[in-house]
Structure formats: C-alpha cells, structure tokens
Amino acid sequence: MAAHPSPHVPRSSGVPTPHVGFRPSPQRLYLPLYIRRSCTRTVSRGQLRYHPICLRNALISPIPKPNRYDMASPKSYRPIALLETLSKLLEKIVAKRITAMAGHLNLIPPDQFGGKEKSLCLDAGLVFIHDVQSTHTQKRFASAALLDISGYYNNIDHDILINGEIGEFFDLANRGVPQGSPLSPVFLSLFTAPLLYRLRSNGMNIHAYIDDIMILTTATSQEGCVSNLIDDIHDLTDALGDFGLSAKMSKTELIHFARTSQCMTKNLPMRLGDRAKDIVHPSEWVRWLSFFLDRRLNFKTHIERLATRAKSMLGGMKMLGNMIRGLTVFNARALINACLMPILTYGFALWFHGRNSKSLCKILQTVQNMACRWATGSFHTAPTAILEHVIALPPIHFRLRKLCINYASKLRHIPANSQVNARLPPVFDSHCPDVAYPAPLSPINAIAAYTHPQAEFRTPYLMLPWEGIRHLPDRVSLITRKDRIANQDSDPRSVVLFTDGSSIVKNGVCHNGWGWVSFKLGRELANGGGSLGPRSTIYNAEAWALLIRLRNILPFISRSGATRIAVFSDNAGLIQALLSRDPSGAPSPVDLTARTLFDFLVAHPLVSADIAWVPSHQKIFGNEHADRIAKHASFFTPTPFFSGKVKCSENHTKSD
C-alpha cells in the first residue's frame, strides 16, 4: 500500500495507519503473500499459532471516562488498544467466521444482542420497549435496573474461551480481550452465553448488549417489582462471581415505568444491603445504549438530548465555513448527512410511531433548519422548504419514515428466532405467543406496518463465509466472450442452460414469470417456466429459474457423464450475487442456487461450471427461447410464496 504522511496515532511499531492511495507501489503486489507468510510462519517451527506474535503487540491509549473527578485513579480511564493494521485485518476475517458459525449453531442466546450479525442496539431497544408496553397492556407494573460490570473486558477468563482444556499455568496478566479488537464483541458474547442461559432458566427477563445489562421485572404492584429486582440482582451477582466477574453496585440505576399519570406519584427506592450506600434511589430517566428512557416512555428527554448534541456538533461544523469562505454547499451537505443526521435520527424506531411523533419531530426539524441555513448561507427569513429543496435534504419526518421502511425490510433477513421477529404480530410466521403479548403502542407493531407477512424471506446462514462457488476457482469460470456459446454447444461433455425473467403489466397488475431451457450438442433437452405473482421482480424470477433447473438437471449430469455445465443469463446482478463471497444482500433463491451448485461440485470433483452473461434481445437463440417461455408463464397461476422454507411448484411447458 502506498503510505502517505498521516496525523493518525501510530501503532506499536511506530508506523501510522497508512492511507491507500491511487499511486501504485511495489509493496501492494506482495501484500497477500506477506499476510500469508506472517500467519503461517510459526507452523513450520512445530507451533500452530493462529495469530503471529509480531501482530499481537498493541499500543494502549487510555481515554478519560466522562464525569470522573478523581483522574489519579486508573478506573477513571478506558484503555483502548491500537492494534496493527494487519492484525486487525486478520482478526476481522476470523471474527467474521466465528460470528457466522455462532449464529448458524445458535451459540449466542437471544437475550444477548451484541456480537451477532444483523443485530443492532436498536433491536435491544425495540424488544425492551415492547415488553414494557405489553406489561402496561396487562395493567401490571414494570421496573428495570441497570448494572455495570467492573472491568468486563479486562477480566475475561481465557480458560472458558478455549473449551475448558487444562494447559500450563499463566499469570493473571494473560486475561481479558483488548477494547478495539474486531474479535472482542463475539468473544465477550460467547463468554457470557452460559451466564445468560443460566439466568434465563431461572425466569429472569434480561436484556444485554455486550456488557450493558438491563433487568426488567413485572408485578401487580411497585413493591412487588422492587422485591423481584432485589432477588434478580442477587442471582446475577452470584452468577457473575462464578465467572470471575463482579458488578459495581454503586453504579446500579433503577427506574419505575408509569402506566398512567397517577403512577408518577409513587417512586420507591431499592435496598440491596444494610448500609446507606446500598440504597438505590429511582431516577426519572436512565441512559441505556445511548437511549434516554423516561418513566412514561414519551422520549421527550431522549429527543432533547439528541437535539442538544446535534447543536453542539453543528457549532463545530460552522467553524469550517460560512457564506463567504470555507466549505461548498455540496461538501456542507455531505458533512450534514455524515455527522449530523445520525445523531438526530438515533433510536428513531422507538418513538416514531404516531404517538407524540409530531411534537418530537418539530424539535429535530428545528435543528435541521439551522443546518440548512448554515449550508446554504441563507438568512433566517428564508423559507425552509426552499432550502431543503436546494440542498436535497428531505424534512425530518420523511427521513424517519424512510428509515422505518429500511428497518422493516431487514425483518425478513434476520434469523427467525430473533427477539424482534418473535414479537411481531400473529400474522407473521415468526410470531411467538410466549413473548409477543399484544401491545397496541408497541414500536415493533408500528414497524411491522411497513412490511408484509408474505414478503420475501431470506434464509440466514445458508452460505457460510468460507463457502460458495467462488471458493472453487479451478472449477468455476466466468465466460465473457459471446463466441464461447457455440463452443459449449458443440462440446459433448457440456450441458448448456439459459434462464430469463419477464415482467408484464396488464390492467394495472404486474405479472412476473420465469423460464429456462437446456441444451446438449445443440439439441433441446427440456424447458419450463412459472409465475411468481405481482410482488416479485425480474431478478427474483431469474433466480428461481436458475434454482429450479439446477435442481432438476444436476442429477441428469451425474448420470449422463457430462463434466461441464454452462449457465447463461442476461442479468449481471444475478451473476455477481451468485459469485459473491458474501451474498448477504441477495434473496433466498440466489443463496439456494449457490448452495446447490457448491454442494454438487464438491460431491463431483470431475465436474466444472461456466457462468456467463449474455446480452438480451440480441438474437441469441437460447436466451430468446427462455424469454418467450417466461413471458408466456407470467400469466400462469402464481407459485405459492415461500416463508422460511422453500415451497415452489413448477409448470413445465415441455419436457422429455
């Protein structure tokens, strides 16, 4: 990589983080070889080490914690490990594989929202708010306690992470995981998995994001909630002691959620011991995962805090330019979208669901108006709508609605056992009656209104990071020349497959169909097609065509002795997703196709595959034939939608 002078903090080697420039350098050519040699250098010496010693050195930078007065105490600082760039690269690869395997095998409990793929702080907040609203719907009381684990990163026992194997004794210095390492979140989640399973078996309702733990309890009275919280906290401290951890009771916070305004007058403390400092007084609001939760859950405190933080950020941005000099309007808009909008919209799904949304949006809109005036250099009397149009910043409620739509689309891409999916309305197949008590004011129900129960479902972890047809480079090739089609048709060892999709709008209804046709030695073997209905796209149709035909033709290839299969499609996006190492954004048919082809090639070492893009409507016989089949099949009875499991019926037009 071409290194340029950088003001960044240098690593332990004294070399700052390099910037990747456009200027070629000789080191860039040898970078993959250097990584491979560094990772395997100790194997030849008879010692199998997955992380070389040269990459395990780190520079510890102590960062002062906020609201600390005794700066002479080591606990007033948070040690951040500045790792080597190559070390973080290697750890990122390992972390991605461990995280995928942990999700595939369900090693991390559902109560732990950190250290997992497709899991956010927003998920933990949605589940917590839903549980509180469900409790209020049952006319019960809800209280919560926040606990702080002392030295969580520094006290992780390595023996637990290595499957309990007994080795040589080591000093206490060989403990903990560095803050800043890509491996730390998943290691911490795996470390606390037995702890959370144990607490969950005892009936404790706990919500955890790495080391941020919230205990929620319900009862018919506030006194009952306090009594339950005391028992839960004692059970938690005992369980932490078994893992070599401890909770700092002086940082414990308590909040009683009020169902009505009459409940606001009662606010009982919690006594954890006989001393005066063991009394935990309740708060009017608490901060958890940067969400400011008040007793009535109206999120006014949360919005006011976000607005204050955004104004502070905007004040610093104003030093970068004004109406005379500094940043251009284009750069100012990019800065607003990158730095200001994430602050204003943080936790949007918790409160943007109709109730009090208009008044809360007004507070955020005021800050956005200030940003628009600064970016355009306009006066205070300039109309806000015109300023938003000039710099292409939509009103805040439009932006929040778009974010809700994006989050709703994620619900069909996360595991079905997710805590958010389990609390969806009963019309969704992932609904779990044990935890999803009806809550009219639940933010999860509001998010569910942006999606549909029969929306396309993607099977998670169908392809693990180290799998996929691209990982078979010697047996999968990408054909780019059009004249290679004739070579495949004349090869007696090859079976050629064309797929296509079609979308026709008739009387305001979209009809989507798919079709395929296969050849060998220029002779048509079979063809088929089907319909997917109005909610699908051409992309999905072509993916289904390829999947269904592969499942039918692969047994024929193994019986006929063919050694090559050639797949031609006019959808470049489908081919790119099929060859991707991480098809996380692809729909289920693409993942299933990659899974099917990968398993077949592994089971048949002598068979190889060619995948090619062909231009559409260029008089290529196989592509035109598949297109005609797809158009004809668009008006068939739609194939039943799949949810979780693939269920499809194929309508053949010709087969022999």
* pLDDT tens-digit series, residues 479-522: 765 556 666 667 788 888 999 988 888 887 888 888 999 988 88
What is the number of other CB atoms lying within 10 angstroms of the CB of residue 284? 12
Single out the residue in 396, 413, 430 at which a domain terminates.
413
Share of the chain above pLDDT 70, in %: 82
- Say if 533 falls within a structural domain: yes
- Say if 385 falls within a structural domain: yes
Q: How far apart are CA 626 and CA 100, in angstroms?
A: 37
Q: 94 by DSSP, 3-state: which?
A: helix
Residues 102 and 238 in one domain: yes
- pLDDT confidence band for 655 (50 / 70 / 90): very low
Cβ-contact 616, 501 below 8 angstroms: no
Cβ-contact 76, 64 below 8 angstroms: yes
The predicted pLDDT at position 20 comes to 38
Residues 236 and 119 in one domain: yes
The predicted pLDDT at position 325 comes to 85
The predicted pLDDT at position 39 comes to 44
Cβ-contact 223, 268 below 8 angstroms: yes
The predicted pLDDT at position 653 comes to 33
Residues 374 and 497 in one domain: no
CATH classification of the domain holding 70: 3.30.70.270
- pLDDT confidence band for 365 (50 / 70 / 90): very high
Q: 256 by DSSP, 3-state: which?
A: strand
pLDDT digits (tens, 9 = 90+) for 210-228: 888 999 999 999 999 999 9
Share of the chain above pLDDT 90, in %: 30
pLDDT digits (tens, 9 = 90+) for 221-275: 999 999 999 999 999 999 988 887 888 888 899 999 998 888 888 999 999 888 8
Residues 221 and 72 in one domain: yes
**Reduced DSSP (H G I as helix, E B as strand, rest coil) percent helix, strand, coil of the chain, to 5:** 40, 20, 40
Q: Which of 509, 506, 547, 555 is nearest to 528 (CA)?
A: 547
Mean pLDDT for 399-426 is: 88
Residues 235 and 128 in one domain: yes
Mean pLDDT for 34-55 is: 52
Residues 379 and 277 in one domain: no
- Say if 29 falls within a structural domain: no
Single out the residue in 276, 294, 312 at which a domain terminates.
294
Query: What residues contact 444, with CB distance under 8 A and at least 6 apart?
Result: 126, 127, 130, 420, 423, 424
- Lowest mean pLDDT segment, chosen from 137-151, 611-625, 631-645: 631-645
The two structure tokens encoding residue 395 = 């009103």
Residues 360 and 477 in one domain: no
Domain that holds residue 339: 325-413
Cβ-contact 642, 542 below 8 angstroms: no
Q: How far apart are CA 139 and CA 220, in angstroms?
A: 8
The predicted pLDDT at position 640 comes to 52
C-alpha 161: how far from its chain's center?
24
Residues 538 and 631 in one domain: yes
The predicted pLDDT at position 355 comes to 64
Residues 336 and 281 in one domain: no
C-alpha 239: how far from its chain's center?
30
- pLDDT confidence band for 167 (50 / 70 / 90): low
Cβ-contact 627, 500 below 8 angstroms: yes
- Say if 221 falls within a structural domain: yes
Burial pattern 461-472, b for ≥16 Cβ within 10 A else e, equals bbbebebbbbee
The predicted pLDDT at position 13 comes to 56
The predicted pLDDT at position 432 comes to 85
Greatest alpha-carbon span in the chain: 89
Cβ-contact 100, 465 below 8 angstroms: yes
- Lowest mean pLDDT segment, chosen from 98-107, 153-162, 246-255, 323-332: 153-162
Mean pLDDT for 153-171 is: 55
Residues 136 and 192 in one domain: yes
Residues 202 and 283 in one domain: yes
CATH classification of the domain holding 581: 3.30.420.10
**Residue recorded with tokens 């065509």:** 545
Q: Are strands 608-613 and 564-569 parallel, antiparallel or unpaired?
A: parallel
Residues present in the chain in total = 656
- Say if 425 falls within a structural domain: no
**Residue recorded with tokens 């080490």:** 49
Residue 652 has pLDDT above 60, yes or no: no
Residues 392 and 471 in one domain: no
Nearest-5° angle of CA 388, CA 392, CA 395? Answer: 50
pTM above 0.75, yes or no: yes
The one-letter amino acid at 197? Y
Residue 650 has pLDDT above 50, yes or no: no
Cβ-contact 296, 258 below 8 angstroms: yes
Single out the residue in 379, 413, 447 at which a domain terminates.
413
Q: How far is CA 195 from CA 125, 198, 214, 238, 381, in A?
A: 21, 5, 14, 10, 59
- Say if 265 falls within a structural domain: yes
Residue 64 has pLDDT above 50, yes or no: yes
Please state the domain count of the chain: 3
- Say if 210 falls within a structural domain: yes
- pLDDT confidence band for 24 (50 / 70 / 90): very low
Torsion of CA 437, 440, 441, 445, to 10 degrees: 70
Q: How far apart are CA 331 and CA 340, in angstroms?
A: 13
Mean pLDDT for 437-464 is: 82
- Say if 3 falls within a structural domain: no
